[in-house]
Amino acid sequence: MIELDSRCELNPAVSLRPERFGALVYSFDTRRLSFLKHRDLVRVVEALGTHESVRETLEAESIDTERWPSFLNALTTLVESEMINEL
Amino acid sequence: MNSESVRPVVAAQPRAATRSLVEEFKEGLDAPICLTWELTYACNLSCVHCLSSSGRRDPRELTTQECYDLIDEFQRMKVFYVNIGGGEPMLRTDFFDILEYAAAHDVGVKFSTNGTYIDEAAAARLASMDYLDIQISIDGADASVNDLIRGEGSYAAARRAMDNLAAAGFGAFKISVVATRHNIDQLDGFKAIADSYGAQLRLTRLRPSGRAVDSWDELHPTQEQQRQLYYWLLDRPDVLTGDSFFHLSALGDPLPGLNLCGAGRVVCLVDPVGDVYACPFVIHDQFLAGNIRDDGGFSHIWRNSDLFVSLREPESEGACTACEMYDACQGGCMASKFFVGLELTDPDPECVKGAAEPLLEKVGATGSLVPRPSVDRSRPGVPVPSPVRLRKRQRV
Ligand code: SF4
Ligand code: SF4
C-alpha cells in the first residue's frame, strides 16, 4: 500500500497519452494498457517524480484532502501493475 | 476488438459520477488502441476464411520508406502498439527491418503469421528483439481438421514454427484459432497444445469477411456450439479472445473485455496499399475512410474522416436497442451484419436469441444482393481448401 510518505515515480518504460476522460497508460515492459479515468489523477501521476513524497505531490496539485484516500488506492493499483515505481 | 491487454481502469474516485469507459470509447479516442496493419496481400496459403482474401502481392504496396514514415506517425500519435498481419507479413523482404524500426520508435508489435517462414534462424532473430509478440494461426488441433481449412501441410508448418520459437527461447507466444463448426469440439485440444509450449491461447470469432463470405453460412458455429463455447470461455478467463465474442455475453454473465464494437472508434485497419478501413473485417468501400498517402496522412483520417466521425455518433434505434440484453451484447458485430446483407441496426447474424434468423431467411428468400468485399487478391488457379461446399452468392 502506498503511503503519503512514499516516494514514487512513473516507470520510465511507461507512456501516458492524454484523452478526453483522462489518459491511456501503456507499459512497454509488461505490454499492458490501462486507463486513468480522471484528469486530476493524470496530473498527479505525471508530477510524482518531481516531489519528495506523495503528500507533497497531492498538495502541489491542490487535491482536496478528502480525496487523498482514493488517490492512494489508485496509486497502489498502479504500483501493483508496475506502472509506477516506489522509490 | 482485440484489446486483450487492457487492464482494469484506475480511477481516483471522482466527485461526480463519471461516464463509463464504454461510453467514452464510443465517442472515439485521440488515436486507436487496436490498430491492425496488414503489410502485404501476398500469402503462401489460401485459407478458406481469410479475412483479407489474400494471395497475390499488390504492386502498389507501401514502400519500406512509407512504412517507416507511418511508424513515425504512430509514434507521434502515441499509438503504443500495432497488430501486424497480412497476407503473410514475413513474405515482405523488409519484414525484419520494419519490426526493428518499430521497436526503435516506441511502437510495440504483435504480428500474426502462418509460421511457414519461422525457421531456426528466423526464430533466433525474433527471440532477440524487444517489444515483440507473435501469434501463430492454426484452425484445428490436428492436421486433419486444420488442413481442411488452411491447406495441406499448414498444420505441420505452424507446429514447426512453434517448436522453433520454443527452442530459441522466445518466451510466451500466442496461438490464434478462429472458432468454427469444425473445431469447437477441439477447444481442450487447443488449450493443451498452448500449455505444452507455455503459450497463450487466443480464440477469435469467424466473421463473414474476405473469402469467408462464401463459406461462413456453413462454417460458423451452430447455436448449440456457441453456448458450448461461451461456457468454456467463462471457465477460462486466461484464454484471450480479442473481445470478439461479446455477442455471447447476451447468454448471461458478460465475458471479460470491453464488449463493444470498436470499429472507427478505437479500432481500424491500414491495408497494404495504405487504405484505412474502420476495422480489419470490413474491407469494403462503404467502410473506407481514406488513404495514408493523401494529404494529412493517417492522423487526419483517424480524427477527421467523415466515416470515422459518423461511426462515433450515437447508434440509431433498431431491434437491438429495445432488447433487454443490449447493454451486454451491444447488438454484436457490424462487419458480420454487413456481409450477410443485414442492416447495421439489425441483430447480429449469430444473435443468441435467434433474432436474426427470420431476417437472414428473408435475405435468402428474396435473393437480394449482399455486399462483396472490395478487395480480392486470391491467387487465380490456386484451389481454396474447404471442408464445406463454397456458395458463391450474387454480390454487389
Ligand atoms: S437482439 Fe440484438 S442486443 Fe439482443 S441479444 Fe440479439 S444481437 Fe444482442
Ligand atoms: S465490426 Fe465486428 S470485428 Fe470489427 S470492430 Fe466491430 S465488432 Fe469488432
Task: Give the model confidence (pLDDT) of A26-65 as tens digits.
Answer: 998 888 899 998 999 999 999 999 999 999 999 999 999 9
Atom of ligand 2 nearest to the CA of B332: 7
Give every strand in the sheet of A22-27, ordered side by side.
A14-19, A22-27, A32-36, B6-10
Provide the pLDDT for residue B144: 95
Confidence (pLDDT) at B258 = 78
Mutate to test the interface with A, among B10, B24, B133, B258 (most CBs of A within 10 A): B10
* Residue B184 alpha carbon to ligand 1 centre in Å: 22
Q: Does the beta-carbon distance from B80 to A71 stay under 8 Å?
A: no
The percent of residues above 90 in pLDDT, for chain A, comes to: 87
Q: What domain range is A50 assigned to?
A: 8-86
Query: d(Cα A7, Cα B250) in Å, to the nearest integer?
Result: 45
> What is the pLDDT, as a whole number, of residue B161?
98
Q: CA B131, B189, B348: angle at the middle one, nearest 5?
A: 75
- Residue among B6, B9, B30 whose CB faces A17 most closely: B30
pLDDT for position B386: 83
DSSP B43: -
Residues on chain B bordering chain A, Cβ-to-Cβ distance under 8 angstroms: 3, 5-15, 18-19, 21, 24, 27, 29-31, 33, 78, 80-81, 106, 108, 131, 133
B108, A31: Cβ pair inside 8 Å? yes
**A33 and B CB contact within 8 Å:** yes
**How far away, in angstroms, is B323 Cα from ligand 1 center?**
6
The reported pLDDT for the residue numbered B15 is: 56
CATH number, residue A72: 3.90.930.70
Domain contains A28: yes
C-alpha cell at B380: 487465380
Residue A2 falls inside a structural domain: no
Residue B335 confidence (pLDDT): 96
Give the Å distance between the CA of B2 and the centre of ligand 2.
9
Q: Does A38 touch chain B (CB under 8 A)?
A: yes
Domain total for chain A? 1
Task: Calculate the CA B191 to chain-centre distance.
Answer: 20
Question: Going by DSSP bridges, is the β-strand pair A84-86/B81-85 parallel, antiparallel, or unpaired?
Answer: unpaired
**pLDDT of res. B169:** 97
**Per-chain mean pLDDT for chain A:** 94
> Regarding beta strands B267-270 and B275-277, do their DSSP bridges make them parallel or antiparallel, or are they unpaired?
antiparallel
Cell of B163: 517448436
Residue A1 falls within a domain, yes or no? no
Q: Which one-letter DSSP state was computed for residue B42? A: B
Report the pLDDT value the prediction gives residue B16, as an integer from 0 to 100. Answer: 56
Chain B contact set for A20 (CB, 8 A): 24, 27, 29-30
- The Å distance, Cα B123 to ligand 1 centre, comes to 44
- Which cell numbers hold the place of B396? 454487389
B10:A41 CB<8 A: yes
Judge if the beta carbon of residue B349 lies within 6 A of ligand 1.
no
Instruction: Give the residue whose CA is nearest to atom 6 of ligand 2.
Output: B261
Whether residue A20 is contained in a domain is answered as yes
**Residue in B5, B10, B30 nearest the CB of A35:** B10
Residues of chain B contacting A28 with CB distance shorter than 8 Å? 80, 106, 108, 131
**What is the average pLDDT across A6-20?**
94
Instruction: Tell me which of A25, A35, A64, A81 to substitute to probe the interface with B (most B C-beta atoms closer than 10 Å).
Output: A35
Beta strands in chain B (DSSP E): 6-10, 34-38, 81-85, 108-113, 132-137, 174-179, 200-205, 267-270, 275-277, 288-291
pLDDT score, position B172: 95
DSSP secondary structure letters along B45-88: ---TT-TT--BSPPTT---HHHHHHHHHHHHHHT--EEEEESS-
CA dihedral sign, ordered B201, B204, B206, B212: negative
Cis amide prior to B87 (ω within 30 degrees): yes
Structural domain includes residue A3: no
CB contact under 8 Å between B9 and A35, yes or no, is: yes
The pLDDT profile of chain B, 396 residues, written as one tens digit per residue, is 545 556 667 777 665 556 788 888 899 999 999 999 999 999 999 999 999 999 999 999 999 999 999 999 999 999 999 999 999 999 999 999 999 999 999 999 999 999 999 999 999 999 999 889 999 999 999 999 999 999 999 999 999 999 999 999 999 999 999 999 999 999 999 999 999 999 999 999 999 999 999 899 889 999 999 999 999 999 999 999 988 999 999 999 988 887 889 999 999 999 999 999 999 999 999 999 999 999 999 999 999 999 999 999 988 878 888 899 998 899 999 999 999 999 999 999 999 999 999 999 998 887 777 888 988 999 888 888 888 877 777 676
